Every structure is written in C-alpha cells, then in structure tokens.
Structure 1
Amino acid sequence: MPDPRFFDSLGPASLSELARVGAAELADATSGDRQIVRAAPLDSADVQAVTFFSDAKRKDAAAATRAGACFVRPEHRDLLPATCAALITRHPQAAWAAAAARLHAPRRHEPSSGAVHADAVLEDGVLLSPGATIGQDARVGRGTRIGPGAVVGPGVVIGRDCVIGPNAVIGFALVGDRVSISAGAVIGEAGFGAAAGPRGMVDLPQLGRVVIQDNVTIGANSCVDRGAFADTTIGENTKIDNLVHVAHNVRIGRNCVLAAFTGVSGSTTVGDGVAFGGKAGVADHLNIGSGASVGAAASVFKNVPAGETWTGFPARPLKKWLRETAWLSRRAGGRVTRGDE
C-alpha cells in the first residue's frame, strides 16, 4: 500500500469501473461489482489489489499472484489463477497506470496554506530562511537548517541537525539525522517510467518513497527519484557529489561515494563501500558488489563482483581493460610503454 503520508487513497473502485478506466474488457462480467482498493506489482498484490502482467518470462509469478484482478493480454489470460479476475487489454501496463491513477493520488501542497502549514511539526531550534516552504504533516527535527526557497513536501520527515540548501526540493521522503542536501537538489520526484498505450506513451505512477539514512551528503543539483512502488534508499554515511542521478528503486549501501555526473539506473543494488568515478553510468537491474570501484566514465552493463575494479566501455575488470587497450594501441601502430603492458 502506498505510504498514506505521501499518497491519498481514492478507492475503492469496482472492476467494471477499472475496466472502463483502463479501456479493458472484464473477462467475467459477473465479477464487475468486486471492489479494488489499491494498485500493486504482481509479486506483492493481494486480493484487494489490481496488478498487470505483460512479460511471458514471468509466467510463474503470474500463476502465483494473489491479486484480486490483473490487466493482461488475451493470449496470457489462462496464466492467471482462478482467483484473479482478468482484465483483457493489448496494453496491460498502460491500463494499470490508468487504474492506479484512479486509486491513488500524490499529496501536494495545499493552496494558500502559508509558508509553514499549520499541521507541520517543527522541533525547537529549527532555522527557516526566507522563502522556505513546509507542507502539511511534515516533521523537521531539532537543529535542522532549511535554506532560502527550499521546499519540504507534505508528510516528509527530516531528522535532526540536517542542512537543506537553498532551493532544494524534498518530497515523498524520510530523511535521517545529520544529512546535508545541497542547493538545487531534488529528492523524491517521480522516477522515469513509461509504457505504450493505445494513444502513445503514458507515464507510469511512481508510488514509492525515498529513504535517506544518517550522515548522508547529497550535492548540488543532484536528483534522487522516489521508488516506483518500493523505496529508493541511500545508506548511512554515503557521499553523493553534485549533478548525480539516482533512479527509482535503487538501493545504495553504506559509505559509498558517487562523483559528479554519475548515473545509477533503476532497480540497481549497490553494496557497502562502493566508489563511482565521475560520469560513471550503470544500467538497470544490476548488482554492484560491496567494496567495488567503477572507474570514471565507465559504462556498466553487467553485475560487478564485490571488491573488483571495473572501467571502460563497456565496463570490464581493470586489468583486462588495460591489456585490451595496450593490444589495441600496438595494433594501431602506436607506441606502448612498459607500464601499458
């Protein structure tokens, strides 16, 4: 269930309504009055949730789902258990996005509520600069300083002795103690997710949060996206440079360092003590093992084992990259020093 601090529940909705919203056909019309209260992924959906299935490689997950209803292509209808109502459509993910928008809405700042909402809770010693805005039900801990023009969204929790820089924007987030978020950083905006629908591409709802643990530093103009459904997490004492992008559902461990222009794509897991050089890029759904290092401008498309150093395009172990570079230089007729070999 999306965190009620950040999302309003708009349900329930009947299956007939969700079929209409998602431009789908209900396989069993007699189930049209069944009530659904939330949208959820295939693996975590329960009897009160609607989900979607579009990847035949996950047919085992479809067969095991406990969802009350599922948007599914006609050819995949028989993969669902008898307990799951089938909503037939050629665009399951886009239909689910429409249903999710019917069931959940992100909380926004209330109009004309003033700079600090009456329902916000600020402990003693919080310092607010001119132009700072605090949304309803937000909580800010003792000794935290919030810079000019910074925005703290509804329901956000910020711990003690934090520093929030000018024009930083924080939403859908739980922030620990002694965290520094520099000027212009954006925490908790929607991650990138889109699906093809009958009228073109549609945005997918991002119903998760950002969790930032103690002693984290996030540099100027960096972006940390909230999860699509699960959380995006930044572990204790991790240090993020300026102009870094952490995508939705990424999990970064403790004591990591990410230099400027690093980009970590969605649903990647980064272990403890990992270092990223400037402009490093990581593809989605990968695992970067604890203690690994990713060189500057490296492009990672495979899992990186713990403790290894990878670099290059595509990224590979450092020694292999050095050998290949030396060999290529020799083949091209260039001079190679002993150190290059």
Structure 2
Amino acid sequence: MKQFTIEEINQAIGGMIVGNSTILITGVEQISTATENQLTFIGEKKYIKSWHQSRASVAIVKNSIEIEPGQNRALLRVADADLALVQVLKMFEPEPPKCEVGIHSTAVIDSSARVGAGAAIGAGCYIGPNVVIGKGAKLYPNVTVLDDTHIGSETVVWSGTVIRERCHIGSGCIIHPNVTIGADGFGYRPSPDGRGLVKIPQIGTVEIGDGVEIGAGSCVDRGKFSATSIGDGTKIDNLVQIAHNCKIGRACVMAGQSGLAGSVTLGDGVIMGGRAIVSDHVTVGAGAKLGGNAGVISDVPPGKTVLGLPADDYRQTLRLWASLKQIPDLIQELKTNVKRNRRSKNKARGDQA
C-alpha cells in the first residue's frame, strides 16, 4: 500500500501546510467518506461544513477559503485545489494491469505489419497487413487493428477495441475498452423504385491527433470521403457518437452520450455537456459551451454558451424555463377569473330580472 508523509505531498503540490505536519497519508477519498489518515479536498466554500463533519486527517484547500484545520488535522493551502488533487492522485495511482512488452504467443500479427521497439501486444490481438504500431504502444488483450492503420508511440488501446482499415491514431492517446474507430458512416438514400435504401460507400478514413482520449463504448465513423478528424488533446467520454466527416478541433471535451451528426465542425476548446447533440453540417465556434441535453440545430458563434432544445443563448433559455414554471399558476388564476366573471354575469342577469 502506498503511503506518503504530509511533507512529501506538500512538496509535490507546492502548497503550504497549516496544522499538524506529522500526519502519514495512506489514501485519498471524497470528503463524506474519508477516514483517519486519508486526504480529501475542498474546492468550494459550500464544503466547509462537510470538513467539520469529516473524519479525514488532511484536506487540500483553495487559498481563498477561510477554514481552520481543527485538532490534530491539517490543511494544504494551494491556488487550485482541483489541479493539486490531480498531482496527489498520480502519487497514489495503482500500477495498471500487466501487458508485457513484446508479442503474446496467441496474438496474430501479419508478416507485413511493423511493431515498434518496446511495444506490447496482448493475448488474442489481431494486427492486419501493413499496420504500424509505434514505439512503446500498448495493446491489451483482444484488440483488433485492420489493414494499413497507424498507431502512434506510447498510445494505449484497451481490450475489445476495433480499429478498422486505413485509420491513423497519434501518439500518447488512450483508447478505452470497446471503442470502434473507422466504422462505416450512416449513409443511405431511397432506392429508385422507392422500395428500399441504397447504401452510400464510406471510402474515407479517421485521423486522430496526439494525446486524444476516447471513452469506453464510443464510436468514431470514417468519412464518406476524406477523413473524420479529431484534434490534439481532445477528450471524449463514454458512449459518444461521432459521425462521418466531422472535424473536431484541439482540446475539445465531449461528455457522455453526446453526439455529432455528419459533417459537424467543432472549433478548438469546445465543451459539450452530457447528451448534447449537434445536427449535421453545423459549425460550433471555438470555445463555445453546449449545456447538457442541448440540441444544436444551427451554427454557434465562438465563445457562446447555449442550452435547451432547440439550443439558444443560455440566458434566454433560463428565462424561458423560469417562465414555464409560472404557467400552472397562470392557468389557475385564469380559471378563477373566468369563474368570477361568470358569477358576476349571472348576478347581473338576476338583478335585471
């Protein structure tokens, strides 16, 4: 079991110790479930009360938060608690599952494929003709890589992933279990007789930059022509669909169950919330944010934040949602007024009689 002194952790994150500096840290846990000798973090003022109730011995705390460590406890004050926690989690990170350097005896490697020095090819992998696997890459058991595909150095591909023909994956990528890269795009047209569908050949490829991470169960379709592309440093969550000929910029973030229809363009640094979707041939400008469940059907300017379905400026959408909450009260008020008017009319008729 890994353990570190509070001084060692503080040195790694460049913080300031407040309180007991002799504590030994044996693990990291969220504030509500942490126990003695464990470290947690406080990034917002709303967690101050939780700290007083927590059994954690140490907390990483943002400098601007006014809080005391308490008896026999300590705080590590830093400028950014989230980034400091990243460093601590790396210190406690367990070793990954073993995948020995070299080619497992049960892997099938075509004679024309090239495997770089220090690469690891796990049990049951299939590497097709003319595939290139870069130096230090790691393919866990049961990965399939089809013809003429290139995988860059130090990229990790987890079990169950299928990378189809003629795709290019950069260096330092992480492809999580059961990802499909290079599947056919979803393209059909009605047949001339009107009784069926004609499949459109998908003859393009997929090009993925360096440092890209793709979550479990996600799919990146190949282009109908040219390539579906993903820029350097983009991070994609689980169960995400990227359709044919999409162009995703650098350092974008796509949360779980989000999706892009065909030929969508995302500028650099776009952030998509969970289950956000973008209609085909739409362009989302650099730095834009799409809220969870947003349905984007028209271009989004750079830096804009949108919500709702159809997606609109987040301030307008929030006003709309607030107005919708008032509808039941307005309906009730209307019904009351109608009844009151009827009684008044009936009374007036009675007086005239």
TM-score (norm: length of structure 2): 0.62
Per-residue deviation, residues 96-125 of structure 1 (Å, max 9, x unmatched): xxxxxxxxxxxxxxxxxx710000011111
Could you say what secondary structure the match of 2:229 adopts?
strand
- Among candidates 247, 256, 259, match of residue 260 of structure 1: 256
Matched, 1:145 2:147: no
Residue in structure 2 matched with residue 179 of structure 1 by the alignment: 173
Q: Which has the higher contact order (CA 8 A, sep 6+)?
A: 1
User: 2:137 & 2:323 partners in 1: Cα distance?
Assistant: 55
The unaligned stretches of length 5 or more in structure 1 are 1-113, 335-341
Following superposition of structure 1 onto structure 2, how do residues 90-239 of structure 1 map, counting pairs within 5 Å?
115-171=108-164, 172-197=166-191, 198=193, 199-239=195-235
**How far does residue 234 in structure 1 lie from its aligned partner after superposition?**
0.3
- Once the 2 structures are TM-superposed, how far is the Cα of residue 331 of structure 1 from its aligned partner? 2.6
User: What SS does structure 2 have at the residue aligned with 1:330?
Assistant: helix
TM-score calculated relative to the size of structure 1: 0.64
Q: Which amino acid aligns with 1:134?
A: I
Quick one: percent identity of the two aligned structures?
41
How far apart in 1 are the matches of 2:320 and 2:246? 32
Shift of 1:333: 1.8
Deviation per CA, 1:120-153, whole angstroms, max 9, x where unpaired?
0111111011001100000000000001110011
Q: Write the letter of the residue equivalent to 1:135.
A: G
Are 2:301 and 1:301 equivalent residues in the alignment?
Answer: no
State how far apart, in whole Å, the 1-side matches of 2:159 and 2:235 are. Answer: 19
Q: Are 1:284 and 2:280 an aligned pair?
A: yes
Distance 1:269 1:157 in 2: 24
1:185-220 deviation per Cα after TM superposition (whole angstroms, max 9, x unaligned): 000010100011135102110010000000000010
1:327 to 323, 327, 330: 323
* Deviation by residue 1:148-201 (Cα, 9 ceiling, x = unmatched): 110011000000000000010011311110011110000001010001113510
Query: Which residue of the other structure, out of 234, 237, 243, is the alignment partner of 1:241?
Result: 237
Task: Tell me, in whole angstroms, the C-alpha distance in 2 between the residues paired with 1:327 and 1:296.
Answer: 20
Q: Which runs of 4+ in 1 moved over 3 A?
A: none
Question: In structure 2, the residue corresponding to 1:333 is in which secondary structure?
Answer: helix
Deviation at 1:328, TM superposition (A): 1.7
The one-letter amino acid paired with 1:217 is E
Q: Structure 1 CA distance, aligned partners of 2:225 and 2:152?
A: 23
Task: In structure 2, give the amino acid aligned to 1:193.
Answer: G
Q: Give secondary structure in 2 for the equivalent of 1:188.
A: strand
CA deviations over 1:270-299 (Å, ceiling 9, x no partner): 000000000111100000000000000111
Q: Structure 1 CA distance, aligned partners of 2:169 and 2:307?
A: 32
Distance 1:218 1:148 in 2: 18
Gaps of 5+ in 2: 1-106, 331-353
Q: CA deviation at 1:332?
A: 2.6
Q: Which residue identity is paired with 2:300?
A: V
Instruction: Determine the C-alpha separation between the residues in 1 that align with 2:326 and 2:126.
Output: 60
Letter in 2 for 1:223: C
Determine the structure 2 residue equivalent to 1:312. 308
Once the two structures are TM-superposed, the CA of residue 252 in structure 1 deviates from its matched residue by: 0.3
Give the CA RMSD over aligned residues: 1.1
Q: Choose 194-203 or 291-300, whichever is displaced more.
A: 194-203
| C-alpha distance in structure 2 between counterparts of 1:290 and 1:211, whole Å | 20
Report the alpha carbon displacement of residue 326 of structure 1 after superposing the two structures with TM. Answer: 1.2
Question: Aligned residue for 2:75?
Answer: none
TM-superposed CA distance for 1:329, in Å, is 1.5
Secondary structure of the residue aligned to 2:287 is coil
Distance, in Å, in 1 between the alignment partners of 2:289 and 2:138 is 34
Give, in whole Å, the separation in 1 of the partners of 2:219 and 2:324: 38
Provide the secondary structure at the position in 2 that maps to 1:306: coil
